[in-house]
Structure 1
Amino acid sequence: MTITATTTTTSSPSSSSSASTTPNSNPNPNSTSTWWESLSRARSRVLSLSPLLPSLPHQTLTLIADSDRPAHSLLSLLPHLSHHLSDDPHSGSGDDPLCNWLYDTYLLPDPPELRLLVLSLLPLLSHLYLSRVVSRPDLSLAGFEAVLLAVYTAEAKIRGGKPVLVSVPDLSSPSLYHSPRVQPQTHHRRASADPHPGTPLTGVLSPPLEPQLAVKSTKRACIVGVALDSFFKKISLVPPRAKSDFCAFVVSWAGQECRCRYEFDDGLDVEVETNCEYVEGNRIPLPWELLQPVLRIIGHCLLAPGNDQEVRDAASAAARAVYARAMHEIIPQAILAARSLIRLDVSARKKEREAAAAMLAVSPGGAASNPATPSKPKRQDVLLFSK
């Protein structure tokens, strides 16, 4: 079965104008000034962090600002920004200067690395916001809400008031690679019931986004979910630490420790410590509109090539935590999705163990080692396998 997601987007005037230019024309005569303006804007944003982060040496910011790609180099400060937001109990308030900096930075048109920095901080912002809303409902978090609304509004503008659709082929019709085995009468009945056999089935993956001026309690999960979906679209560009941190936050959000986490882990020697209980911490409501982007991000961290082992292990724990939570709250969509991710993870880990065992059983010469049997040196074979 092949599933294709269709996202409707609006075309910008710049794209239409560039398409109408001839090959010999210069579509952007002010390209040099535009590049310089983008570089100056990035340097200005870097230096404006100096009064917001007093613990960071000013020389560090100066070196970043004077680099050839200051916006890209700014990503190296992601751990420092994360520690500053986490350690400050008053972060996220309406007068939080760092939240105001993130809000203004995200609204800049370029360079794109500035937006990537804000998107890389979204897992932490979402975690702090959702956790504090539950633990301290009287606390003002207008700073966090402003950043989340900026990302939500940008995504709503991209979608142009249209839903995100998913198209699923009609599995009742035969494919091009085999002969149909349907009896004539059955086929006749099916054809009469469906006047257009073979038509792809279209479903709504995400409804149209309504404009939001504030984060209401009834729209909180939707706004945070759309922000995390924006993070997912750029997830291949964000640092690995942001991915592993997000998976750790999901485990905390689920807050469910029980045996059903490990029911698919036969043969992996997973130790079960508890029976069935809630974990004290940051357990939050997880409706489907929030779980949907969460599962997409976990799927990328678990299965996408190029992720290191730390990210994969964190995603494996997150998938099991979501599955346990969905089983206790009976959320069918989340149960099916999380269970599929867990089984894929278990299958991949078993194959890795078999490949490692096969390498240990084979000598460097390519045959089983036997110290009593002399053998002449052979060309060493290199076995490659992905971890």
Structure 2
Amino acid sequence: MEDQVSSSPDKSTSNKPRITWSDSYSKAHVAIEALAAILPCLPLALSSSETPAASLLQDPEVAAQISQLFRRPDSGAVNDNLCAWLYDTFRSSEPDLQIVVLRFLPTLAGVYLSRAGLHKPLPGFESVLLAIYAHETAGRNGQAITVSIPDLAHSSIYHETKQTVKIAPRSSTSALPSLEPYGTVRSTRRARIVGVALELYYSKISQIPVGSKIEFCEFCKIWSGQEDENKGDGASTTKIPRKSKRRRGEEGE
């Protein structure tokens, strides 16, 4: 009788679904198999990796191929298989795979914003951005976020100063408004949606590969209006349309 009691499952936990290591492993391999049908050449090592999500995140060859596909003139369209893969992968709710999607956010957002002013439909890019935005909207649960804004009139702790009197840095607090659920991207919502996606990217910055951070810095330089025409990696050829200049086509022109 004692053996029967000890071998019976705990009723308090038997009906609760649990995400195990094998579930994460299987989801990552399914994502890799789907990506293999999209990329020109997927490294064979990914299929046999014991940590497929981490290997996918850190693989430079995969990153280069995805970055190149983003820069194609027809990228971001409604039938863009890469955008569909990013959308499905992020909505898998697997944290490691969501980091993989965020790794490519700087390039996706950079190319998307460079073409937004051309009034060209980009539902592929927007579906990924909306998936990330919806994730953050649900995570914040309608609550506002309080941020601290430093006083730039005072030196930070990371800067040397000749002042002999120590002045405590001042800061002001500001509450970011709660997020409203959006199902589409309009011109009045675009900055908000992309900004929220980049906020999530920044919150995971410690897990993001260095290459992604460099891409983000390169696009920040472009967004600020500084373009290095001599750079040959393709990042600087993505132009942001300006009213004072003749509108240009896709990146690479």
SS at match of 1:243: helix
Partner of 2:131: 150
1:343-378 C-alpha deviation (Å, 9 max, x unpaired): xxxxxxxxxxxxxxxxxxxxxxxxxxxxxxxxxxxx
1:283 to 223, 231, 240: 240
SS at match of 1:232: helix
1:276-306 C-alpha deviation (Å, 9 max, x unpaired): xxx9962368xxxxxxxxxxxxxxxxxxxxx
Does 1:70 find its partner at 2:52? yes
Partner of 2:75: 91
Runs of 4+ in 1 over 4 A off after TM superposition: 25-33
Partner of 2:211: 241
* Structure 1 residue 28 displacement after superposition: 6.8
2:98 to 106, 115, 131: 115
Partner of 2:223: 253
1:103 to 66, 81, 87: 87
SS at match of 1:48: helix
Give the TM-score of the pair, scaled to structure 1. 0.47
User: Is the CA contact 1:254–1:284 (under 8 Å) kept in the aligned structure 2?
Assistant: no
1:19-44 C-alpha deviation (Å, 9 max, x unpaired): xxxxxx99977899722122111111
Partner of 1:218: 188
1:127 to 106, 110, 125: 110
Partner of 1:56: 41
User: Is the CA contact 1:45–1:105 (under 8 Å) kept in the aligned structure 2?
Assistant: yes
* Structure 1 residue 89 displacement after superposition: 1.1
User: Is the CA contact 1:255–1:282 (under 8 Å) kept in the aligned structure 2?
Assistant: no
Letter in 2 for 1:78: A
Partner of 2:147: 166
Q: With CA pairs under 8 Å and 6+ residues apart, which has the higher RCO, 1 or 2?
A: 2
Q: Cα–Cα, structure 1 residues 211 and 256, in superposed 2: closer, same or farther, change >3 Å?
A: same
Q: Cα–Cα, structure 1 residues 161 and 33, in superposed 2: closer, same or farther, change >3 Å?
A: closer
Letter in 2 for 1:238: I
User: Is the CA contact 1:255–1:281 (under 8 Å) kept in the aligned structure 2?
Assistant: no
Partner of 1:79: 64
- Distance in 1 (CA, whole Å) between partners of 2:196 and 2:100 is 17
1:26-71 C-alpha deviation (Å, 9 max, x unpaired): 9977899722122111111101112211x205xx24x312211111
Matched positions, count: 200
1:82-114 C-alpha deviation (Å, 9 max, x unpaired): 12222x21111111011000000000122x221
Please list, as runs of the form range in 1=range in 2, the aligned pairs for 1:279-318 lying within 5 A after superposition: 282-283=239-240
Partner of 2:157: none
1:265-284 C-alpha deviation (Å, 9 max, x unpaired): xxxxxxxxxxxxxx996236
- Distance in 1 (CA, whole Å) between partners of 2:81 and 2:73 is 14
- Distance in 1 (CA, whole Å) between partners of 2:183 and 2:135 is 13
Partner of 2:6: none
- Distance in 2 (CA, whole Å) between partners of 1:28 and 1:69 is 28
- Distance in 2 (CA, whole Å) between partners of 1:27 and 1:243 is 45
* Structure 1 residue 228 displacement after superposition: 0.5
User: Is the CA contact 2:111–2:238 (under 8 Å) kept in the aligned structure 1?
Assistant: no
User: Is the CA contact 1:255–1:280 (under 8 Å) kept in the aligned structure 2?
Assistant: no
SS at match of 1:255: coil
Letter in 2 for 1:223: I
Q: Cα–Cα, structure 1 residues 150 and 27, in superposed 2: closer, same or farther, change >3 Å?
A: farther
Letter in 1 for 2:103: S
User: Is the CA contact 2:113–2:240 (under 8 Å) kept in the aligned structure 1?
Assistant: no
User: Is the CA contact 1:99–1:147 (under 8 Å) kept in the aligned structure 2?
Assistant: yes
Unaligned runs of 5+ in 2: 1-9, 150-170, 228-235, 243-253
User: Is the CA contact 1:78–1:117 (under 8 Å) kept in the aligned structure 2?
Assistant: no
